[in-house]
Amino acid sequence: MPKSSVTPKPLSKKPSNKSGLDKASNLVRSVIFFFLVIVLCTFMYNTLAGNTAVLETVPLSDVVARANDPEGNIKKITVAGNDLKITLKDKDYPTQKSRKDASGTLYEQGLVDFCTNLTNAQEKTACLETYPTIEYVESTDVWGTILDIAFVVLPILALILFFSYMMRQAQSMNNQNLGFGKAKVTLYGPDKKRVTFKDVAGNEAAKQDLEEIVDFLKHPKKYETLGAKIPRGVLLAGDPGTGKTLMARAVAGEANVPFFSISGSEFAEMFVGVGASRVRDLFQKAKKNAPSIIFIDEVDAVAHKRDARGGAGREDEQTLNQILVEMDGFDNETGVIVMAATNRVDMLDKALLRPGRFDRHVNVVLPERKDRLEILKVHFQGKPVAKSLNLDALAAKTAGSSGADLANIANEAAITAARLGHKEITNSDLTEAFERVAIGPERKSKVMNDHERKITAYHEAGHAIVGHVLPDSDPVHKVTIIPRGRTGGVTWFLPPEDRSYKNIYELKDILARAMGGRIAEKLVFGPEAITTGASSDLKNVAELSKEMILEEGLGKKTRNLVFPETATGYYGISTEKPYSEKTAELIDEEIKSLATEAASRAEAVLKANRKTLDLLAEKLLEKETLEEVDLAPLLKDASLPPSAKLH
């Protein structure tokens, strides 16, 4: 979906894409700037040092005493305001300084009362002959005073300039993406392409919940006059790719209000403190444009539980707090609705879910078969498709797929059709796309040697026969020995309906048919010849049987007992198991017995149907891929031996 984003003007007026010249002059400016700072610092240091180390301060009484003493060694006293600078006769001694009392003149303070003050010319001459002359200079050194002030003020100014310069640099760095601390604004005005509920297929319950929000935004007065509290926060929760982001945009589109969006993951890349300021800006803009929607996508990135794993980062916490502060500041007339999306409600900080915050929850769920068909229709709309295109068949075999997966398949189908030079999208393009998305592209180019092909054929035939024969297994849909992704071959089972629950027989049949591959290899090529081709089957068996015992209470001796490996301990990371050693042994035993049972059932089935196994493997080597229709005649003689029966 096209979306228009308006990046607001950055704080500084500099254009974000600078020319080379601009960059060069920037460099010169910063060099000059740093030079200036260094000069000032040196200057400041010298001045301070000069004032304290070079000019020794002496008390005035001492100066007076020495001025009246012929041996006082004073040559000159410079007076500037209340400051005295005393130059000594002996050049080896440094200049001294002193201060006179502000209230008295020098005379009053006994300094001038010497030789100069004598009126008798004879006495004066005698005095001057006896005592050394002291020059009294009344200084009106304005520059000195200014310099004194400058020495204090300039370094501070330099520091301020320096920091503002650094900030500006940081800003312009950030400006290349977005304004510093500014939120991205996505507007859906009447002139822009709007996403509406029509673009969101399925999920009727969620849409119904959101209709209400749309109405709030369209007719806020209606609710105000009735004194109804308008919701502030709506949390969209659901698996990845179920269309949460799409849904939020559709609400804005339906209500025809501005949509201000930001993603939680963006906050992670920000400078310290920018997250909170971005939030502030986001809310400010939204309020100015009310009624409007703020959308915080992937909110779990900032709002994960603060105590989980020793606490969230301080930056996240600031961002989260700012969101909460802003939402608490809403009143009934604010007209802004905050929507947020997450895949992990359980991870969210509880503070976010309190009343007055994100207290409305809308669950966005994985689509059911008919919804999958609707979603496929949306995504095939406008694409040239063959008349025979069977979207329903695709919907049937994509149980568990999200809207995003289906959109992906639709796109892959178009790509496949284009690559193969088809004028319209055909069923084979669709199948190819589905398998490509589900497992990875076919590797036609990788040549298997004949022996490998034979092993693969028996392996897949083993899966297919065990799955076909066992009564609680889903029917076999397709078998292929064309390698795809990292697999050597694939056997597909088709779940007939979407089901949320499986019973223990179904689960045990899944285990047995997973074992079918390796058992077939063993029966045909001998126990020494088994390959690594079954490693992913065995992993699946291990995982499923562990889940059955630990989480679903399906053990023989541990029926209805579960052993959740929930983390315990203060930080939730302790590995301590909440059960005894003895229980642990029992659990291991139960898991093992599920796997051995599966293996022996598979072996019983394959031994009893060896003819079918050979036939199927042969056909696979010949045709490489067998569809449901091809499989039916090949499997018609297969039967279930009593030893593999469970009920």
C-beta nearest to Mg ion: residue = 245
Residue 517 binds which entry of Zn ion, Mg ion, ligand ADP, none, with Cβ cut-offs from 5 to 8 Å by kind? Answer: Zn ion
Least distance from Zn ion to the Cβ atom of residue 466, Å = 11
261 touches Mg ion (CB under 5 A): no
Which residue matches tokens 């310069």? Answer: 165
Least distance from ligand ADP to the Cβ atom of residue 247, Å = 7
Q: Which tokens is 202 given?
A: 């399925």
Judged by CB, which is closer to Mg ion: 245, or 292? Answer: 245
Residue 537 binds which entry of Zn ion, Mg ion, ligand ADP, none, with Cβ cut-offs from 5 to 8 Å by kind? Answer: Zn ion
Residue 70 binds which entry of ligand ADP, Zn ion, Mg ion, none, with Cβ cut-offs from 5 to 8 Å by kind? Answer: none
Amino acid at 219: H
Residue 335 binds which entry of Zn ion, Mg ion, ligand ADP, none, with Cβ cut-offs from 5 to 8 Å by kind? Answer: none
Within 208-237, the residues that bind Zn ion by CB under 5 A are: none
Q: Among this protein's residues, is 212 annotated catalytic?
A: no
Q: Is the peptide bond before 291 cis (omega within 30 degrees of 0)?
A: yes
Least distance from Zn ion to the Cβ atom of residue 480, Å = 12
Q: What CA–CA distances, in Å, run from 327 to 229, 260, 331?
A: 14, 15, 9
Give the number of residues in contact with Zn ion, rule: CB under 5 A: 2
Return contacts of 103-106, CB within 8 angstroms, 24+ apart.
106/79, 106/136
Least distance from ligand ADP to the Cβ atom of residue 529, Å = 46
Task: Calculate the dihedral angle through the C-alpha atoms of 597, 602, 605, 608, rounding to the nearest 10 degrees.
Answer: -100
Least distance from Zn ion to the Cβ atom of residue 517, Å = 3
Q: Name which position in 461, 517, 524, 586 contacts Zn ion (CB under 5 A).
A: 517
Residues 623, 621: Cα–Cα separation, whole Å:
6
| Binding pattern for the stretch 520-539 against Zn ion, x by CB under 5 A and - elsewhere | -----------------x--
HSE-up (13 A, CA, CB side) for residue 381: 10
242 touches Mg ion (CB under 5 A): no
Neighbour tally for 595: CB within 10 Å: 18
Q: What CA–CA distances, in Å, run from 457 to 330, 492, 612, 626?
A: 66, 14, 13, 11
Least distance from Zn ion to the Cβ atom of residue 524, Å = 14
CA 226 to mean position of chain CA atoms: 41
C-beta nearest to ligand ADP: residue = 403
Judged by CB, which is closer to Zn ion: 184, or 619? Answer: 619
Residue 617 binds which entry of Zn ion, Mg ion, ligand ADP, none, with Cβ cut-offs from 5 to 8 Å by kind? Answer: none
403 touches Zn ion (CB under 5 A): no
Least distance from ligand ADP to the Cβ atom of residue 31, Å = 47
Is the dihedral angle over the CA atoms 413, 418, 420, 421 positive or is it negative?
A: positive
**Active-site pick, 326, 460, 521, 603:** 460
Q: Name which position in 96, 98, 242, 245 contacts Mg ion (CB under 5 A).
A: 245
Residue 276 binds which entry of Zn ion, ligand ADP, Mg ion, none, with Cβ cut-offs from 5 to 8 Å by kind? Answer: none
HSE-up (13 A, CA, CB side) for residue 376: 28
Judged by CB, which is closer to ligand ADP: 341, or 615? Answer: 341
Q: What CA–CA distances, in Å, run from 636 to 32, 190, 469, 523?
A: 89, 62, 10, 21
Q: What CA–CA distances, in Å, run from 377 to 47, 183, 200, 296, 387?
A: 81, 35, 11, 29, 13
CA 281 to mean position of chain CA atoms: 20
398 touches Mg ion (CB under 5 A): no
Residue 202 binds which entry of ligand ADP, Zn ion, Mg ion, none, with Cβ cut-offs from 5 to 8 Å by kind? Answer: ligand ADP
Residues in touch with ligand ADP (CB under 6 A): 200-203, 238, 240-246, 341, 375, 378, 403-404, 407
488 touches Zn ion (CB under 5 A): no
**449 exposure class (CB count in 10 Å sphere: 0-12, 13-18, 19+):** exposed
Amino acid at 111: L
* 3-class secondary-structure state, position 34: helix
Residue 241 binds which entry of Zn ion, ligand ADP, Mg ion, none, with Cβ cut-offs from 5 to 8 Å by kind? Answer: ligand ADP
Judged by CB, which is closer to Mg ion: 341, or 635? Answer: 341
Judged by CB, which is closer to Mg ion: 96, or 402? Answer: 402
Which residue matches tokens 């092993």? Answer: 455
Q: What amino acid positions are annotated as catalytic residues?
A: 460
- Residues forming the site for Mg ion (CB under 5 A): 245
